Amino acid sequence: MASPLLSFFFFFFFLCYAAVASQSPFTEKAALIRYWNRKIPNNLPHPAFLVSKLTPLSASDATTFFNLAASDPSLLSSHLASFCSAAGLLCPADLTPSLSSHPRDSDFAAYQNSNFTNYGTKSADGLSSFKNYSDGLNVPLDTFRRYGRDSTFHDDKFSFYAPDGNVVTANFTSYGTNTAGGTDGFTSYDESSNVPDLKFNNYAAEGTGREGVFTQYSDNTNAGDQAFNSYGKNGNGATSDFSSYANNSNVIGSTFTHYGEEGNGVNDTFASYGDNGNVPENNFRSYGDGTNGGVDKFTSYRDQSNVGDNFFTSYEKSGNVGTADFTNYGNSFNPGSDNFKGYGQGSFNDQITFKEYFADNTSFTVYAKTGVDFKEYHNTSSSSTPTASAVDTKKSAVEKKKKQDLAKRFVEPGKFFRERSLKKGTVMPMPDIRDRMPPRSFLPRSISGKIPFSAASVDGIFRILPDTAMGKAVDSTLADCNRAPSHGETKRCAASAEDMIDFAVAVLGNDIEVRSTANTTGSKGNIIVGDVRGVNGGKVTESVSCHQSLFPYLVYYCHSVPRVRVYVADILAVDSKQKINQGVAICHLDTSDWSPTHGAFVALGPGPGKIEVCHWIFEGDMTWTVADHA
């Protein structure tokens, strides 16, 4: 039995320890720091950015959740709310059901995470207004099902719907069936959101004279999908108006299937569709089949967009006296692929017109041989391979320069730079290095190690519906993690801080340290490079870089990166010349395995293997190297 003196001694020891680690010794966080010190015994400080991501669980909570997970991980699900809040996880909200009655006018301001079912059936006149719905939320889930059936002249207005959200799911199913008159106004829908999943299924079917107005639909969004399926089927004299659809968006997939099928005198207008997009994927399948009369108008289709793909399959099939009008189609700044198949086939007296068509019209297979009219045709496909310009010596210098300027405008300025820029006094743009992902913590390995790394288990435990933005994020993280490493790559998905430390030690040895840029000050503006220090004397080294993935708890995709130089550089404000940030930059010396279409070469020129490419370590990411004891 320990003597009181010995107990006191231990207690004193703990107090000292706590002071050193600035942590209570009884937390999981303190336990992890002890693990870190044991695996990497070089006494270097633990950077705050990583310490802040360690689990906030108290030792007693950790024990409770560990015991649950150890006996059966699915038991965590029945304590989800307390587990998520105690462990700092990203869990979908619980949905509240909609009210049961529907007044003539209703006002849902600053509403969120609701499940509207069978709401507002047979309402007449009036307005339902949804304003600032799910504003700036993480993982919101909004569903509308059988909403406003059989209503007449009832207006629905959605403004600022799910803006600035993260991993947004919005699902409209059988909304507004068999309505007459009235307007659906979506203004600023899902603006500036990250990884959205937006769906309209069977929306406004059998409607008569209903008007749908979508303005600024999913502008400035990042990496998501939106789908309109059987939208406005069997509509009669209805109109849909999309203006500014997915403007300025990055890697957005848009799918329209069975859109406006069998419509009668239905007018659909898309103005400014997918402009300024980066790698947009547009997919129109069975769009406007069997329509009678009516007009489809696309003005400014993917103007100034960068690569991506367009599919029009079975478009306006068997239409009757309809009109499809494309004005300014595909004036891309880097052409994408076009694929028209079964376009306007079997239609009768249809008029399909392309005014100003910028693409290769040979991508039309099986399409109406008559009634398709190219007013002005610009074949741009000859310049469709961005690499071609590098080797094409015949191209005039002016043309090359023009293309490069355009490209520079596209890849965010400062995202990639040459090693020679890392010199005191260089003025350069700094990209937006802010972490846009929702905050989450690591789970202790004792718990994360008990959660099977499969979609079925993770979705089950965290009550994630597979068909949501979050469900898709989980799938994509697992797919990245399970993919075989590329040539020469050593990789590991770290589902805990312990895993990450183990991997870094396995690759680099146990005398290592981890760095990231200090904060995000200077982002999106010009900065001056101040004092620059090459890590380990600027020697060529190997690093382990870790990028966060989207998952309910922190999971990092870590991989070894051979042949790099890592720099720590003071970042100064242009006006005051004061230090505002401390950047960590990594220069990849061997780019020979990179894709020729990599943004780095779009921005900097030459090509794979011809130049080194440097970038800042963004907020949330980090890089491990052999320790620099200098």
Ligand X SMILES: *[C@@H]1O[C@H](CO)[C@@H](O)[C@H](O)[C@H]1NC(C)=O
Contact call for residue 421 and ligand X (CB under 6 A): no
Q: Of 241-249, 427-435, 531-539, 550-558, which segment contacts ligand X by CB under 6 A?
A: 241-249
**Residue 404 lies near ligand X (rule: CB under 6 A):** no
The DSSP string of 112-142 is -SEEEES-STT-BS-EEEEEEETTT-BS-EE
| Closer of 507 and 572 to ligand X (Cβ) | 572
Please give, one letter per residue, the 3-state secondary structure of 445-483.
HHHHCCCCCCHHHHHHHHCCCCCCHHHHHHHHHHHHHHC
Which one among 47, 237, 346, 538 touches ligand X, defined by CB under 6 A? Answer: 237
In the set 138, 267, 318, 543, which binds ligand X (CB under 6 A)?
267
With helix as H, strand as E and coil as C, how does 338-349 read?
EEEEEECCCCEC
Angle value at C-alpha 538, between 532 and 540, nearest 5 degrees: 145
Q: Which two tokens stand for residue 4?
A: 């009181």
Residue number, 117 or 183, with CB nearest to ligand X: 117
Q: Cα–Cα distance between 135 and 129 in angstroms, integer? A: 15
Chain residues 25-84 in contact with ligand X, contact rule CB under 6 A: none
Quick note: the x/- pattern for ligand X over 121-160, rule CB under 6 A, is -----------x----------x----------------x
Q: Contact between 115 and ligand X (CB under 6 A)?
A: yes
Q: How far is the CB of 417 from ligand X (least distance, A)?
A: 20
Q: What is the gyration radius of the CA atoms in the chain, in angstroms?
A: 28
- Give yes or no for residue 381 binding ligand X (CB under 6 A): yes
Residue 417 CA to residue 567 CA, distance in Å, equals 13
Separation CA 610–CA 597 (nearest Å): 14
Place of tokens 């990497």: 40
**Residue 387 touching ligand X (CB under 6 A):** no
Query: Half-sphere exposure (CA, 13 Å, Cβ side) for 72?
Result: 6
Calpha distance 62→73 (Å, rounded): 14
C-alpha distances in Å from residue 524, one per residue of 196, 277, 510, 605: 23, 19, 37, 22
- For ligand X, which stretch binds (CB under 6 A), given 55-63, 272-280, 281-289, 335-343? 272-280
Q: Which of 325, 331, 332, 330 is nearest to 355 (CA)?
A: 325
Interacting span for ligand X (CB under 6 A) from 120-128, 265-273, 598-606, 614-622: 265-273
What is the pattern of x (binds ligand X, CB under 6 A) and - over residues 443-482?
Answer: ----------------------x-xx--------------
Q: Looking at 110-118, 249-257, 426-434, 612-620, which segment touches ligand X (CB under 6 A)?
A: 110-118
The answer to the question of residue 360 lying near ligand X (CB under 6 A) is yes
> Which of 64, 353, 361, 404 forms a contact with ligand X (CB under 6 A)?
361
Q: Would you say 304 or 421 has its CB closer to ligand X?
A: 304
Tell me if 350 sits within 8 A of 325, measured CB to CB.
Answer: no
Q: Which of residues 586-605 bind ligand X (CB under 6 A)?
A: none
DSSP state of 305: -
Which of 230, 239, 278, 291 is close enough to bind ligand X by CB under 6 A?
Answer: 239
Q: Characterize the bridge pairing of strands 541-549 and 512-515.
A: unpaired
Q: What's the one-letter identity of residue 494?
A: A
Residues 6+ apart with CB under 8 A from 509: 626
455-462 helix and 80-87 helix, angle to the nearest 10 degrees: 100
Nearer to ligand X, 76 or 568 (CB): 568
Kindly give, in sequence order, each residue whose CB lies less than 8 Å from that of residue 245, ignoring residues fewer than 6 positions away. 214, 217, 218, 254, 270, 272, 273, 274
Which of 134, 201, 278, 545 touches ligand X by CB under 6 A?
201
Complex with ligand X: residue 237 or 562, whichever CB lies closer: 237
Give residues 476-515 in contact with ligand X (rule: CB under 6 A). Answer: none
Q: Which stretch binds ligand X (CB under 6 A): 176-184, 283-291, 483-491, 575-583?
A: 575-583
For residue 124, the tally of other CB atoms under 10 A from its CB is 13
Residue 96 interacts with ligand X (CB under 6 A): yes or no: no
Element (H, E) at 546: strand 541-549
Pick from 521, 526, 536, 597: which binds ligand X (CB under 6 A)? 521
Helix (H) or strand (E) run with residue 379 in it? none
Least distance (Å) from ligand X to the CB of residue 14? Answer: 31
272 binds ligand X (CB under 6 A): yes
Which one of 35, 377, 453, 594 is in contact with ligand X (CB under 6 A)? 377
Of 107 and 511, nearer to ligand X (C-beta) is 107
Among 28-36, 85-93, 240-248, 431-439, which window interacts with ligand X (CB under 6 A)?
240-248
Q: At what angle do helices 59-71 and 80-87 cross, to 10 degrees?
A: 140
Q: Which stretch binds ligand X (CB under 6 A): 78-86, 371-379, 476-484, 492-500?
A: 371-379
Does the footprint of ligand X cover residue 166 (CB under 6 A)? no
Q: Tell me the closest approach of the beta carbon of residue 626 to ligand X, in angstroms.
A: 23
Q: At what angle do helices 455-462 and 469-482 cross, to 10 degrees?
A: 150
> For ligand X, how many residues bind (rule: CB under 6 A)?
44
Counting Cα atoms < 13 Å in the Cβ hemisphere of 315 gives: 25
Given 157, 341, 408, 579, the residue binding ligand X (CB under 6 A): 579
> In the complex, what is the shortest distance from the CB of residue 377 to ligand X, in angstroms, rounded to a whole number?
4
Question: Taking the CB of residue 149, how many other CB atoms lie within 10 A of it?
Answer: 18
Take residue 7 and report the two structure tokens written for it.
């107990």
Q: Is 199 in the site for ligand X (CB under 6 A)?
A: yes
Pick the closer one to ligand X by CB: 165 or 534. Answer: 165
Q: How far is CA 517 from CA 395, 538, 615, 620, in A?
A: 41, 17, 11, 9
Q: Which residue type occupies 385?
A: T
Q: Is 383 near ligand X (CB under 6 A)?
A: no
Min separation Cβ 39 and ligand X, Å: 26
Which residues contact ligand X by CB under 6 A?
95, 97, 109-110, 115, 117, 132, 143, 160, 163, 169, 171, 173, 199, 201, 237, 239, 244, 247-248, 265, 267, 272, 275-276, 295, 360-362, 364, 374, 377, 379, 381-382, 465, 467-468, 518-519, 521, 579, 581-582
